[in-house]
Chain A
Amino acid sequence: MTRPISLALVALLAPVVAALILAPIPALRKRGWPAAALCILGSVLSFGAAVALLVDTLKDSTPQTLAVPWVRSAGKVIAEAGVHVDGVAASMLVVVTLVALCVQVFSLGYMHDEPPPAFGRYFTYHALFLFSMNVLVVAPNLLQLFIGWELVGVTSYLLIGFYFRKPSAAHAAVKAFWVTKFADMGFLFGLLALFAASGSFGWDARLAPGAATAVTLLFFLAVVGKSAQFPLHVWLPDAMEGPTPVSALLHAATMVAAGVYLVVRANPLFAQSETTRSLMLGLGAGTALFAALLALVQTDIKKVLAYSTCSQLGYMVAALGAGSVLGGFFHLTTHAFFKALLFLAAGSAIHAVHSNEIGAMGGLAKKMPLTAGAFIIGALSLAGIPGFSGFFSKDLVLEAVEGKLGGVPWVLLLATAFLTAFYMGRVVFVAFFGEPSGEQAKHAHEPGWSMRAPLVVLAVLSLGLGYFAAPFARLHGEAYHFELGAGPIIGATLGIGGFVAAYAVFGRGKREAPPAVITWVDSIARTRAVNRLYDFGYRRVTMVLANALAWIDRYVVDGAINMLAYTTLEAGQEARPMQTGFAADYVMAVLAGVVCLAAWVVAR
């Protein structure tokens, strides 16, 4: 076993060992603190191994695989399980384990008020999630990736529904599970189609053009669900019912990025279908703008960030659709850090004012300078202000998309860039500047070290990661150097312009009379058209169809069986009088039988 393989195994197994110790031992789990310590220890080990692995991979990026036979059929191995290490997997592992570690440390403070059993349960779920995500990241084939994908879905369900006594949280968990599960059918059928076409679950098969399109379209359905693209984005805003650190880890940085990661991994397949790629480009750009518009009118700080995540995932999907794996993946990486930072900073603010509404905050910058600073760094990075990491990755995306599909996606993404800066500016100015809007906001104060330290780490990464684009590109076997051209200047102008516009509208404590365009978008958002479409589909199509089938089952299938039983019973009842009890009648019957037999013998 080589060094990278051992490191990958450590990164993979450390969290699951923690989970396997905690899950069956209630005495340990229900005490709370031991669970947190064990879970964080697992994450530290995992993170350390991932960093060592990344350093190794930077020196020598030859892919390495350790795979053991897993599924056998007729003596032939049809699927393997194991670890596959290359530049993509190593960098993703570092992103996942680092964000997970930050979030878990943050949770020590954020979840402090939970009773010990809930506290322990929370960290057990976290350990399980990290393992699931790592299974997905180091998968040597798409089948194992699918297993990780589903495990991540389950842990996401558990964590969204963490406050399961709250009906809205339970409802959100079920909704997230159903929507992603519907999309996951695409993954499953895609795998079957891939196996039928190529005889393996590998991602480097050469397929016939038709088969390639079918397989990648099916995979793309799964991506649309997991990465919350229109029209399956409806679960993500609801998923904000989970604890805020969970939103930071699962619904901003890692799990929702799994869809993008799938496309990055299966890129050799996606590269074979122009149809799928064009669809991805169009849908990604459309989602980016659509979600940015919705983010504009949310008053719940987490919902703003949730729609913003949809929007940024749209960027990544569009980049991958344009064929730029580096663009999509680099944006995934920077986004993971700055969006986790934004969520954690938002969590810190929520923790201080006990409300998600930005209207209930206000003036927090004076009370909580570190939190405000972290949030502003995240916001500037998300808005693509030059120098911050988001600027470099967004620029890569815009450059990849430029000129594709008649330039429409490019224009959409540029509009999104402006809107992104505008809605982040809105949150920053309303929540962190101006006057405190309530008692809670007046007495807000900075949280403890466990919540501050992760903010600092993530803020540093959000600031600095953009300058490491070149080594990052090398991991993918591509070259990167930044050029100051028209693209970056347009992007930067739009980003800064968005902030300036937001300051003009919301700055200096102005709260009343938002511009007409916002009220207009708000009125449309309030119709909840997409959700109502699903409601309609569920009530008017699925339920009607199900009722029709139930009717057929109850009255046609069951009816035939019951009819048979009834007929037999009735025939028996009708035949009863034949038994008279008189010996002469029986003799007559015997005689009739004999005569019939004789007649038959003679006639033959």
Chain B
Amino acid sequence: MTLSTCLLLATALFSVGIYGLLTRRQVMAVLLCVELMANAANICFVAFSRFRGGVTGQVFASFSIAITVAEVAVGLAIVILLYRTRGDTRLDLASEMKE
């Protein structure tokens, strides 16, 4: 296992995340995709830490995970509110962000 393998894995994960973000209609799926992208970044952190030495990357990865958890908590709260007000969680029906 080399650095490039790890980076390729991270890229693949990130791309899958982006693709899902753009194509999924369910809010839950979109949230999951965001998680995928965040974890792609985490893989980069730990990979560089592992192959270049130093613990900075690992510390950042822990940070990142903590922040992602907070983000998901907020995201899920929004999803629940969305479901309560509309009775549906499909994103392409929500266009209130216009203007």
On A, residues with C-beta under 8 Å from B are: 576, 579-584, 586-588, 591
For B22, give the chain A residue with the smallest CB separation. Answer: A584
A581 touches B96 (CB 8 A): yes
For B27, give the chain A residue with the smallest CB separation. Answer: A583
Q: Which of B21, B95, B96, B99 contacts A587 (CB 8 A)?
A: B21
CB distance from A379 to the nearest CB of B (A): 91
Interchain residue pairs with CB less than 8 A apart (9): A581-B96, A582-B91, A582-B95, A582-B97, A584-B22, A584-B23, A584-B92, A587-B21, A591-B22
Bits for B1-33, please: 1 = Cβ < 8 Å to A, else 0: 000000000000000001001110000001000
CB distance from B8 to the nearest CB of A (A): 17
Q: Which of B91, B96, B99 contacts A584 (CB 8 A)?
A: B91
Check A587/B98 contact, CB under 8 A, given A582-B91, A582-B92.
no
Q: Which of A579, A584, A586, A591 has its CB near the most chain B CB atoms (within 10 A)?
A: A584
Q: Which residues on B sit within 8 Å (CB–CB) of A576?
A: 99
B97 touches A584 (CB 8 A): no
Tell me the number of A-to-B contacts counted with CB atoms below 8 Å.
31
For A577, give the chain B residue with the smallest CB separation. Answer: B98
Q: Which of B22, B23, B98 contacts A581 (CB 8 A)?
A: B98
How far is B30's CA from A582's CA once the two chains are assembled, in angstroms? 13
CB distance from A272 to the nearest CB of B (A): 78
A588 touches B95 (CB 8 A): no
How far is B6's CA from A18's CA once the two chains are assembled, in angstroms? 104
How far is B96's CA from A586's CA once the two chains are assembled, in angstroms? 13
Q: Which residues on A sit within 8 Å (CB–CB) of B18?
A: 591
How far is B95's CA from A583's CA once the two chains are assembled, in angstroms? 8
How far is B30's CA from A279's CA once the two chains are assembled, in angstroms? 97
B window 28-45: CB within 8 A of A: 30
A580 touches B22 (CB 8 A): no
Q: Which of B18, B92, B96, B97 has its CB near the most chain A CB atoms (within 10 A)?
A: B97
How far is B22's CA from A580's CA once the two chains are assembled, in angstroms? 15
Q: Which residues on A sit within 8 Å (CB–CB) of B21?
A: 584, 587
Q: Which residues on A sit within 8 Å (CB–CB) of B91?
A: 582-584
How far is B96's CA from A588's CA once the two chains are assembled, in angstroms? 17
How far is B95's CA from A579's CA once the two chains are assembled, in angstroms? 10
Q: Which residues on B sit within 8 Å (CB–CB) of A581?
A: 94-99
How far is B91's CA from A579's CA once the two chains are assembled, in angstroms? 16
Q: Which residues on A sit within 8 Å (CB–CB) of B94?
A: 581, 583
For A587, give the chain B residue with the smallest CB separation. Answer: B21
Which A-B residue pairs are the 6 nearest by beta carbons? A581-B95, A581-B98, A581-B97, A579-B98, A579-B99, A584-B22
A583 touches B97 (CB 8 A): yes
Check A580/B99 contact, CB under 8 A, given A587-B21, A587-B22.
no
For B24, give the chain A residue with the smallest CB separation. Answer: A584
How far is B22's CA from A124's CA once the two chains are assembled, in angstroms? 90
Q: Which of A580, A582, A591 has its CB near the most chain B CB atoms (within 10 A)?
A: A582
For A583, give the chain B residue with the smallest CB separation. Answer: B91
How far is B23's CA from A581's CA once the two chains are assembled, in angstroms? 16
CB distance from A595 to the nearest CB of B (A): 11
How far is B29's CA from A584's CA once the two chains are assembled, in angstroms? 13
For B23, give the chain A residue with the smallest CB separation. Answer: A584
Bits for B55-99, please: 1 = Cβ < 8 Å to A, else 0: 000000000000000000000000000000000000110111111
CB distance from B67 to the nearest CB of A (A): 19
Q: Which residues on B sit within 8 Å (CB–CB) of A591?
A: 18, 22
How far is B33's CA from A591's CA once the two chains are assembled, in angstroms? 15
A586 touches B97 (CB 8 A): yes
How far is B99's CA from A586's CA once the two chains are assembled, in angstroms? 13
CB distance from B32 to the nearest CB of A (A): 15
Q: Which residues on B sit within 8 Å (CB–CB) of A580?
A: 95, 98
For B21, give the chain A residue with the smallest CB separation. Answer: A587
For A582, give the chain B residue with the smallest CB separation. Answer: B95
For B33, give the chain A residue with the smallest CB separation. Answer: A587
For A588, give the chain B residue with the smallest CB separation. Answer: B22
How far is B72's CA from A66's CA once the two chains are assembled, in angstroms? 92
Q: Known A-B contacts: A580-B95, A581-B96, A583-B97. Give 17 more (CB < 8 A).
A: A576-B99, A579-B97, A579-B98, A579-B99, A580-B98, A581-B94, A581-B95, A581-B99, A582-B91, A582-B92, A582-B97, A583-B91, A584-B21, A584-B92, A586-B97, A587-B21, A591-B22
Q: Which residues on A sit within 8 Å (CB–CB) of B30?
A: 583
How far is B88's CA from A101's CA once the two chains are assembled, in angstroms? 103
Q: Which residues on B sit within 8 Å (CB–CB) of A588?
A: 22
CB distance from A583 to the nearest CB of B (A): 6
CB distance from B84 to the nearest CB of A (A): 19
CB distance from A480 to the nearest CB of B (A): 96
How far is B23's CA from A584's CA once the two chains are assembled, in angstroms? 8
CB distance from B61 to the nearest CB of A (A): 22
For B96, give the chain A residue with the smallest CB separation. Answer: A581
Q: Which residues on B sit within 8 Å (CB–CB) of A582?
A: 91-92, 95, 97
Q: Which residues on A sit within 8 Å (CB–CB) of B22?
A: 584, 587-588, 591
Q: Which residues on A sit within 8 Å (CB–CB) of B99?
A: 576, 579, 581
Q: Which residues on B sit within 8 Å (CB–CB) of A586?
A: 97
How far is B35's CA from A51's CA once the two chains are assembled, in angstroms? 109
CB distance from A137 to the nearest CB of B (A): 77
CB distance from A551 to the nearest CB of B (A): 41
For B97, give the chain A residue with the smallest CB separation. Answer: A581
Q: Which residues on B sit within 8 Å (CB–CB) of A584?
A: 21-23, 91-92
CB distance from A581 to the nearest CB of B (A): 3
For B95, give the chain A residue with the smallest CB separation. Answer: A581
CB distance from B12 to the nearest CB of A (A): 17
How far is B18's CA from A591's CA once the two chains are assembled, in angstroms? 9
CB distance from B54 to the nearest CB of A (A): 25
How far is B21's CA from A588's CA once the two chains are assembled, in angstroms? 9
How far is B92's CA from A587's CA once the two chains are assembled, in angstroms? 13
For B92, give the chain A residue with the smallest CB separation. Answer: A582
How far is B91's CA from A591's CA once the two chains are assembled, in angstroms? 18
For B91, give the chain A residue with the smallest CB separation. Answer: A583
CB distance from A224 to the nearest CB of B (A): 71
How far is B63's CA from A176's CA once the two chains are assembled, in angstroms? 90
